[in-house]
Each structure stands twice: as C-alpha cells, then as structure tokens.
Chain A
Amino acid sequence: MLELLSVTAGYDRRAPVLSDVTLTVEPGAAVGLLGPSGCGKSTLARVAALLHEPYAGRVVIDGEPARGWRHRAPRAQRTAFGVVFQQPRLSADPRLSLADLIAEPLRAGRLEHTARVRELADAVGLGGDLLGRRPHEVSDGQLQRACLARALTLRPRWLICDEMTAMLDASTTAALVGVVEEYRRETGAGLLAVGHDRVLLERWCGRTVEWGERGPADDA
C-alpha cells in the first residue's frame, strides 16, 4: 500500500500548492489522478516518489514511513519507485547514450548490466542502433521509451507516471501504457498515473480520482 497522509507541500511555505491531501494506492492497484494543469497533482506525485519533501504529512510505503527525501531517502525506499515525467528531454542527461541512460540506476557489475539493459530495451521496443544514440539523435517518443525503461531498471514496486504520454501520439501512448501494464502483470507493482486526459486515465487505471477544489476527492 502506498499512503499519502495529510500532505501539505509546495515551493513556498506561506502558499503551499497543496494542503492536507490524502490519497492511497492499494497494493498492485492502478490509480489515475485527474486534474487541470497547475492544480498541484505533479507536486503530489513528486512527494509520493520521495523526490519532494512535504511541509507536513506522511508518506507510508508498504507499511514503512518514508525516512527521507531525495538523496537523503534510504536507498531501499528510493528504489521502490520508478518515475516517468512528461518531458523526456528535461529528465535525460544529453551526454548519455540511450543504453547508458537505461543503465544509469544500476551500480557496477558489468555483465548483468548489459543483459538487463537489453531486456528492458526489448520491452520498450528500442532495437538496433537506437541504443547507441544520444537524446538529440532520437525522437521524443523514442527518448520517452528509454526513460520508461530506466524507471523499470531496478524493478520498482511502485510506478509514478506524471503526464508520461502528454506529448506523444496515440500509437506511442498505447505502446508505453502497454509496457507499464505488462510490467505490472509480471511483478504486481502498483501505479499512480497523474494526468489531465480523462479518457486515457479511465481506460488505463482501475480507479480514477478527481482533483477537486481542495485536492483529490478520494473515497476509496
């Protein structure tokens, strides 16, 4: 279970973008969080993935309270999450080849390395010489495939997808959602998908939660 309990967070203590927000994702479930841009849902997603420290409230991951944020989060908690953002170009180091990008979360251990990268590249449909290219040499869709593979590298128990497909065409969107769902079938991982496309999230997720005036109206 992923629990966000009475979370208040933002970038200015006096004017938090979200206050006292509670949202839970059951083990293995897929929850879609729907809301207009600027409502604070992306900030909540970053809090959930331990990337942004809230001013108040708690995050509980499979029964264990979060013990830190960003690099201060214990590795075991940090790696419980795979995160994919809207803009692959902002989250990919332009100097890395796609293969290195996918391997980024891995530590040493070369052999296992290559095998895992190949396995992931296959899963997201990145074949041939694409793996040797750098971000500026591939399309947005191809780069987002690599970013999704990178999010799966450490076999996370939770996936956080923040507007993962907002820039992509229909076929690439369906392909990436297919990869996420295949991974969840294999591993039983849970998902929090944040977005503004109702049709997409309702098709993708078992349950969707609407971001209302005061945050997600979660009645689960």
Chain B
Amino acid sequence: MTPVLSVERLSVRFRMRDGVSVRAVSDASFDLAAGECLALVGESGCGKSVLASALLGLLPENAETAGSAHLGDTDLLAADERTLARRIRGRRVGLVPQSPAAHLTPVRTVRSQLAETISQLTRAGRRGPQLATAVAAAADRAAFPLDHLDRYPHELSGGLAQRAATALALVGDAPLLLADEPTTGLDRDLVERTVDELRRHIGDDRALLLITHDLAAAERIADRVAVMYASRIVELADADAFFGSPGPRHPYARGLLNALPDREFAPIPGMPPELTTLPDGCAFAARCARADDTCAWVPGLLDGVACHHPETAGAEVTRA
C-alpha cells in the first residue's frame, strides 16, 4: 500500500546572520500509512517542530531544505506557496495547533470561523441552512458542544478551545493530520481525552503525525514512535516494543523513558549539544555510557536505530 506521507532524507538548515548555521533537521526518513499514528518525540529544541513546519511549508525565509516529503504525488518541500496555500494546508494536511487559543481568531465566534473554513474548503455553500448544518456537523465531529458555537475563543476552557481547533483541522477531510504539541499545558485527563479523540479521527483512511514531548500521550495512541535527538531521528520503532518489551534500543531513547516518574525517574546526565555546534560524530556521545571510538562517526538509521552499539535488550524475551 502506498503511504500517505513519505519523508526521505529531509534536512533543514537555517542560515543565521553571522555566518552561523543551525542544523535543525538532519536526514530524517519515515513513512506514514493510512490508519496509522506515528509519534515524533523529543525534547524542546530537538528539531521536531521544525520538521512539522517543513511539512506545512511554513519555514522562515532563511531556511534551506534538502530531501523530499511526498504527500501523494506532491513533494511538500518543492511545492510553491500558492500550491501549499490553495491545495495543501487544510485540504490535504490538517493542522491541530500547539496553542489553540492563539490559533483561533480572537474576535470571531467559533461558529463564524467554522463557517468560513467550511465554505472555503467544501461545497457546503456560503450561507443558508446547508452551511448551518455543515457547521453543526463539523462541531459535533470534534465533540464541540453546539450551545458553545456562539462563544469567542477567550470564553472557552482549554479543552473546548482544543476541540474547536480540532474541528477546524478536520473540516477539509485531509488525509494527513499533523498535531504539533496538541496537549501542552493541559491537565492529564484532558491530555488523554484530546489524544484519544485524535486517534479516533484518523479511523482507517487518515494518518496522524503526533509531535510531542509527552511520552505518556505518545504511548497512549501511537502505533510507531520516532525519537528525535539533536536534529536526527535516532530510533524508529513499534510503540508496543518501544514502551513495553524489549524497550528502546537507542541509549538516548532508553534514558528518556527511564527518566519518567513511573520508571527510574533518573535524568540523563548532561544536556543536548547546540544545533549550531553539533559534533562530527554521534551527537549523544558526550552523554552516552556506551560510547567508544567508533562513535566519532555518525551512525546511520539501520534497522530502526541510529547507534553503533544499540541495546540488545530483549534477549531475555526471545529466550523465553
């Protein structure tokens, strides 16, 4: 089956004023199939949000990209702004934003924003009963209460603002949903409800790319996990194997999971390198207990892990 999204060797680099360049994404490759949720996890500054912006064609002027990201037969990296604005964003990629309150237009009610998006993206017409029905259906789909449609964004709770933004993202029936830190600042119950709803929306014919630093949210709904560290995807694994047994194979991914309060609650020593001065070899080497001379070469992503000495854990599982 052809994937909904196919990203190949995607790199993004920013040219800064003083000749410095920031390598925000290096050589990222992954596919995303219909009905599938891939969680892209990593700490802030690892490059995951830049990757999302690249897929939406929302990078700033000083960005240089390489590689490709095919959505059907369109290469999102090569498409011009006109194509992206008229044919891609909203129609083929729906964005569930990081802070819905900021994403919604403050001076307009939820009803009017939904109506506008619907008349732009669908054939429901510009006014009349047909449009009203479509607005109600769109709100309903994201479990947004109909009696709140005439409210302004600031009159909504965090959870309802998130649903309003989700309703907007779903209007165009885009085959790819991209959720960028959709749960930041939400309480745990609301995090779970939000991601469960996202999961439900993908059904069998859409794909969801969930970008998050919240490992618990990723564990809850992802089919696969991609871990990003210092601009690279260092592990790409099935969620069950990653969160359960045999567990992560990349030392960074393993450390990140072990830092959770319901696991060892132990931090990884040190901090990630700056994206302006990435080391020549493996970017995790300075913090890695398994590092040796070979790690002076950047490890490629082989068999789902970019490490010269991946954890072989799972031996006990296969033995059993």
- The chain A residues found within 8 Å of chain B, CB to CB, are 36-38, 125, 139-142, 166-175, 177-178, 196-200, 202-204
Q: Complex Cα distance A178/B264, Å?
A: 12
Structural contact, A139 and B267, CB atoms closer than 8 A: no
Q: Is the interface of B mostly helix, strand, loop or mixed?
A: loop
Q: Complex Cα distance A184/B256, Å?
A: 25
The proximity string for B residues 153-179 relative to A, scoring 1 for CB distances below 8 Å and 0 otherwise, is 000011000000000000000000000
**With A125-B271, A141-B271, A197-B188 known to touch, is A171 a contact of B262 (CB < 8 Å)?**
no
Nearest A residue (CB) for B212? A169
Chain B residues whose C-beta falls within 8 Å of the C-beta of A170 in the assembled complex? 213, 215, 256-257, 259-260
Could you say which of A36, A38, A125, A141 contacts B44, with CB atoms under 8 Å apart?
A: A141
Within 8 A of A (CB), among B245-267: 255-257, 259-262, 265-267
Tell me how far the C-beta of A137 lies from the nearest C-beta in chain B, rounded to whole angstroms.
Answer: 10
Q: Complex Cα distance A204/B261, Å?
A: 8
Chain A residues whose C-beta falls within 8 Å of the C-beta of B187 in the assembled complex? 36-37, 196
B270 within 8 A of A: yes
Tell me how far the C-beta of A38 lies from the nearest C-beta in chain B, rounded to whole angstroms.
Answer: 8
Tell me how far the C-beta of A136 lies from the nearest C-beta in chain B, rounded to whole angstroms.
Answer: 13
Structural contact, B259 and A171, CB atoms closer than 8 A: yes
Nearest A residue (CB) for B43? A169
Structural contact, B158 and A37, CB atoms closer than 8 A: yes
Q: Complex Cα distance A136/B251, Å?
A: 30
What are 7 A-B contacts defined by CB distance under 8 Å? A37-B187, A125-B271, A170-B215, A171-B256, A171-B267, A173-B261, A175-B267
**With A37-B158, A200-B261 known to touch, is A174 a contact of B45 (CB < 8 Å)?**
no
Structural contact, B255 and A203, CB atoms closer than 8 A: no
Structural contact, A169 and B256, CB atoms closer than 8 A: yes
Tell me how far the C-beta of B227 lies from the nearest C-beta in chain A, rounded to whole angstroms.
Answer: 11
Structural contact, B185 and A166, CB atoms closer than 8 A: yes
The proximity string for B residues 185-224 relative to A, scoring 1 for CB distances below 8 Å and 0 otherwise, is 1111100000000000000000000000101100000000
Q: A171-B259, A172-B43, A175-B267 are in contact. List 8 more A-B contacts (CB 8 A).
A: A141-B44, A170-B257, A170-B260, A171-B256, A173-B267, A174-B261, A178-B267, A196-B188
The proximity string for B residues 133-170 relative to A, scoring 1 for CB distances below 8 Å and 0 otherwise, is 00000000000000000000000011000000000000
B122 within 8 A of A: no
B268 within 8 A of A: yes
Nearest A residue (CB) for B213? A169
Tell me how far the C-beta of A3 lies from the nearest C-beta in chain B, rounded to whole angstroms.
Answer: 28
Chain A residues whose C-beta falls within 8 Å of the C-beta of B294 in the assembled complex? none
Structural contact, B188 and A142, CB atoms closer than 8 A: no
Q: Complex Cα distance A218/B65, Å?
A: 56
